[in-house]
């Protein structure tokens, strides 16, 4: 069993908030990198979401001897050849506001017929003396024509989910977790929590 404490190898407040919303109702205490005894510098130099997730989680496990979860996720836009992809967080600059990033996407998509996109999430679960477990999932969406909604974070205001008829940022947390890339991956991961062996 993973225990009551889960270290999320991230400082992204949006991600931590979503993990808290998903795990705390099940009795887990969600910690972030900021809650660890000392700062850890992680070089995310992987070429895939899965590689980056493993790098982040394994870094925490190796340094502190603790079980950890790491999420690496992003937006793939078909018309952009899959970009921003693994570079989603640092696309156009790591500190560039998402309001600007979203506006750039909408401008580049003007007149584009192929508006298909997907959120991709890879979650790595690591623990001492065990190989990492990686689960990936996606949610197929389209790029909206204009931003809408104030919930969520990142690209959510321009990522439209046709079955709901709204953007990710227009959904309440419960709706979003049911269909999101992260929500689906977490539910698959939860089924592994009772496994005591590697």
- On the question of pLDDT at 151 being above 50, the answer is yes
**DSSP alpha helix (H) spans, the chain:** 13-23, 49-64, 98-108, 173-179, 181-190
Q: What's the structural domain count of the chain?
A: 1
Indicate whether 94 belongs to any domain.
yes
User: Of 72, 95, 194, 197, which residue is the catalytic one?
Assistant: 72
Indicate whether 64 belongs to any domain.
yes
Query: What is the band of 2 on the pLDDT scale with cuts at 50, 70, 90?
Result: very low
Q: Give the mean model confidence (pLDDT) for residues 135-155.
A: 96
Q: Give the mean model confidence (pLDDT) for residues 43-47.
A: 88
Residue 10: CATH number of its domain: 3.90.950.10
Q: Give the mean model confidence (pLDDT) for residues 99-119.
A: 97
* pLDDT at residue 161, as a whole number: 98
User: The domain containing residue 75 runs over which residues?
Assistant: 5-190
Pair 68, 7: CB distance under 8 Å: yes
pLDDT digits (tens, 9 = 90+) for 12-22: 888 888 888 87
Instruction: Note if 137 is an active site residue.
Output: no
Indicate whether 172 belongs to any domain.
yes
Indicate whether 166 belongs to any domain.
yes
Task: Give the whole-angstrom CA distance, residue 67 versus residue 127.
Answer: 4
């Amino acid at each position: 069993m993973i225990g009551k404490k889960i270290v999320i190898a991230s400082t992204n407040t949006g991600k931590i908030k979503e993990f808290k919303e998903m795990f705390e109702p099940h009795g887990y205490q969600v910690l972030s990198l900021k809650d660890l005894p000392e700062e850890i510098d992680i070089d995310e130099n992987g070429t895939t979401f899965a590689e980056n997730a493993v790098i982040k989680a394994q870094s925490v496990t190796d340094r502190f001897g603790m079980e950890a979860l790491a999420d690496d996720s992003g937006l793939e836009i078909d018309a952009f050849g899959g970009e921003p992809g693994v570079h989603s967080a640092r696309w156009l600059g790591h500190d560039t506001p998402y309001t600007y990033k979203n506006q750039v996407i909408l401008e580049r998509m003007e007149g584009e017929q192929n508006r298909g996109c997907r959120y991709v999430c890879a979650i790595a679960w690591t623990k001492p003396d065990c190989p990492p477990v990686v689960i990936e999932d996606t949610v197929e969406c389209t790029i909206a024509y204009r931003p809408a909604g104030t919930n969520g974070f990142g690209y959510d205001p321009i990522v439209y989910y046709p079955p709901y008829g709204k953007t990710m940022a227009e959904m309440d947390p419960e709706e979003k977790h049911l269909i999101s890339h992260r929500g689906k991956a977490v539910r698959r991961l939860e089924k592994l929590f009772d496994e005591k062996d590697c």
